[in-house]
Structure 1
């Protein structure tokens, strides 16, 4: 596509990106709310170590189902209807958790929340990638990560403010999630459909209208031509296409990155903040205050990542994050083992969050949204993100059990080793994607 005379409507693209990324905010809410609520839930439901892990991880099991639904729904009906369904599921599940009458009801509702999270985690970055010009695609997809961390920070602040409201404070923590869910649903009503999906279902005129709002006629014409070329010969999408020699290498990279982003261990810090700091003598107030500090650092360094992802590139950030986390986990394990003060532990935790927020957190989502061919992007993305949530479940389910047997510090040696392996995986398998259109990347990934 020639870019000499092409220009695009930056304000409109940013507005679309932020609205669709509200799914990321709800992702952040459901992800973070458990950290502040867990001390209350342990008393409410008398949880064992395995029970604590399963309750936390039940979100991930729902996410796996959500990805399956979103992948098929996004290919058949479009990205927009699937985002609307995710918003409705978020609202219902938030109220369901708040009014739970027992452990089984709560876990069912958290599983339902996971369906919404799984759908949004796949659909929001994919949608943003499909409506964004190549030169700003990395930054725009990272907006989704920005809304995730904003959701985490605001949820942690709300949790902290509610912590003195008695034994039922956890009900308010979960129930308030219904408010942003409704706002997300209303916002999605305004969004246009993805032009790449419209082209795929032979609605060229509608695709041209959307692209005409995104950019000028030169931009719209060039993108339409590129999409049409990439879709030639594609009659129907099927799961078998993911095993084709032209697609499988990208699927392997996407799944590998997704699994690595979770097994790297950082979500232990997010989900089990209270347990980590309790192990070095911090009281409940200090534990919840640390979740707020984590949220703040996460937000600041995500903004830095948005600024750098289209400048430095995806690959350098992933390599730096992998090796940096490996070193920081060794230091954190030492601090926990030696029972250093909460201030020392906090320093290593916050450095690890900063490292993750500028690398693995946003860049993994950017790469997953970019590397798959147009004809299978919905299905391939769902496979990668199913793998991500399966890895998340394994991580959060096993941590309380491992910590009980090895001490809170023990699992961090394992996560350090996984980060080192991730460094070599990125070095060997991940190609740079910045500055290329999705159709150009398709040629790079498939070798055509």
Structure 2
């Protein structure tokens, strides 16, 4: 049978063209595949921090109430993972520099698995299942802290890994996927928790349902662990260990060009030699470290985790019923996903600073709007509008872009140390803002949301005055900013 179509319609021609296109862009596909694996660390970040939301009421009945303990013990149990997050952030630099980015992520994956299984059955080895004791409560919290350490390690190392592996022209987009993975992980665990509890009695959830919820995290954690064996170590770390040949091979696969790989390798070698004599945290001055810390602190001080952790409670306090507040929370969650994708699509075109400043302005408008409504006791649709506007502004700016900048701004020689300090500061700020919200809102809703609005304004001024634009520059080119 004779083919009568034009050449462009010939199936053979189309298949050859497709193969050529795949060869031309296989380095991009390779980087995308690596990024997909590493962003599972972000998914586990979101999964592990949010999984407790479905289990905490059952744990309160099973352990806290049965032991005669109060709200302090309950609050500590719910937030104990944050303690581990701070510890994990602090020690991430040590492990990242000593054993490498990839091995640090493997360690985080192991901690995720142990935490999920251990917190689901804290009686393992030492206690009897079904007999709540103070020792069981301690073990539960220790396993949750262990998972928090994994989150701290992953939250510092995964963006660093992606930033070091990604070509300059798509680095912002790839690192932004880390924030998307966090939000997606939270969404996944909400669905998992709901599916476990759906149609079951609360007594069943108290008896065993909460265990299934906590144990479910072992599945994505094990997948993360196994897939990490398929990704390489970052070229920057390999050069720091004098393994230049392996670094060159990976750079060639990432960039699709021997010439480009050689050029980047020489830049990395030069950057590491320049500070080889010292290499201490302030080798490039204090400004770069301060900028990193303030990026992390402002990301939390604008109040985003209050909006995420306490969303149903916020909507209820502003006049919505329980069913309406849950629906409004779902709406906010969908907005978060959509506007994170907006950031991913625009960060390498518009730049980091314009997105951060516009996001700060949007957050300020949202929070000042909520504060004004709270002052005049006006609740309803406008409250939902301003909170959604606020979270949308955050998700298209400070949510993903902070991770992008933290992965970019620190010079090669101090990246592990500086990232560790910045991430530890982020978790400490998260803990402070989250823990002070209940007392602040009891004092005054208008003051509370007004405070977050003021922080949003200050964050815009900080970005305008202190944060450099990093779009399209290699990590070694950015290093020269701080040398000057």
Q: Scaled by the length of structure 2, what TM-score is found?
A: 0.84
Separation in 2, partners of 1:183, 1:287: 34
Q: CA deviation at 1:420?
A: 1.5
Conservation of the 8 A alpha-carbon contact between 2:365 and 2:390: no
Structure 1 residue ranges without an equivalent (≥5): 1-5
Q: Which range moved further: 338-347 or 310-319?
A: 338-347
Aligned length: 438
Instruction: String of CA shifts for 1:68-114, please: whole Å, max 9, x gaps.
Output: 33211111111111100101111111222323455433332222111
Q: 1:214-225 alignment to 2 at 5 Å? A: 214=254, 215-225=256-266
Match for residue 155 of structure 1 among 173, 189, 206:
189
CA deviation profile, 1:365-405 (whole Å, cap 9, x unmatched): 100100011111111111111111111111111112323x3
CA distance 1:82–1:235, change in 2 (3 Å) = same
Q: Which of residues 275, 282, 285 is equivalent to 1:243?
A: 282
**Residue of structure 2 in register with 1:260 after alignment:** 298
The question of whether the paired residues in 2 share the 8 Å contact of 1:259 and 1:388 is answered with yes
Q: Tell whether 2:46 aligns with 1:28.
A: yes
Match of 1:174 among 214, 223, 226: 214
User: Is 2:118 the counterpart of 1:96?
Assistant: yes
Q: Higher mean Cα deviation, 62-71 or 367-376?
A: 62-71
CA distance, structure 1, for counterparts of residue 120 and residue 444 of structure 2: 32
Aligned to 1:3: none
CA RMSD of superposed structures (Å)? 2.4
Q: Is the 8 A contact 2:80 2:145 kept in 1?
A: yes
Deviations 1:248-290 (A, max 9, x none): 2111100010011011101011111232133245455544444
Equivalence for 1:444: 481
Distance 1:399 1:103 in 2: 25
Q: Does 1:433 align with 2:470?
A: yes
User: Residue 457 of structure 2: which of 420, 425, 429 is its match?
Assistant: 420
Aligned to 1:411: 448
- 1:346 paired with 2:384, answer yes
Tell me, yes or no, if the aligned pair for 2:364 and 2:390 is still in contact at 8 Å: no
How far the C-alpha of 1:151 sits from its partner, in A, is 0.7
Name the SS for the 1:435 alignment partner. Answer: coil
How far does the alpha carbon of each residue in 1:414-441 deviate from its partner, in whole angstroms, 9 at most, with x for none?
1111111111111110110000000000
Deviations 1:155-175 (A, max 9, x none): 223334445432434433322
Q: 274-283 or 389-398, which moves further after superposition?
A: 274-283
How far, CA to CA, are the matches of 1:52 and 1:419 in structure 2? 31
2:314 counterpart of 1:273: no
Instruction: Report what 1:210 is aligned to.
Output: 250
- Please state how far the C-alpha of 1:342 moved relative to its aligned partner: 5.6
8 Å CA contact retained: 1:138, 1:310:
yes
Aligned mates of 2:213, 2:26 — CA distance in 1: 41
1:211 Cα deviation after fit: 1.4
After the TM superposition, which residues 7-46 of structure 1 pair with which residues of structure 2 at under 5 Å, given as runs? 9-41=27-59, 43=61, 45=64
1:372 paired residue among 399, 407, 410: 410
Q: Which residue of 1 aligns with 2:163?
A: 129
Shift in CA distance, 398/278, structure 1 to aligned 2, threshold 3 Å = same
Q: Which has the higher contact order (CA 8 A, sep 6+)?
A: 1
User: CA contact under 8 A between 1:277 and 1:342: conserved in structure 2?
Assistant: no
When residues 54 and 332 of structure 1 are mapped into structure 2, their CA distance, relative to the original with a 3 A threshold, is farther
Deviations 1:263-322, CA, capped at 9 Å, x for gaps: 110101111123213324545554444443332211111111000001111011111111
In structure 2, relative to structure 1, the CA distance for the partners of 1:106 and 1:441 (3 Å cut) is same
Contact 1:39 1:274 in 2 (8 A): no
* Cα 1:339/1:30, change in 2 over 3 Å: farther
Q: 2:424 aligns with which of 380, 386, 402?
A: 386
1:233 CA displacement: 4.5
SS at match of 1:309: helix
What is the CA deviation profile of residues 203-252 of structure 1, one whole-angstrom value per residue up to 9, with x for unaligned ones? Answer: 011111211221221121111111111111444776xx1123x2421111
Secondary structure at 1:9 match in 2: helix
Q: CA deviation at 1:13?
A: 0.5
Runs of 5+ unmatched residues, structure 2: 1-23, 123-131
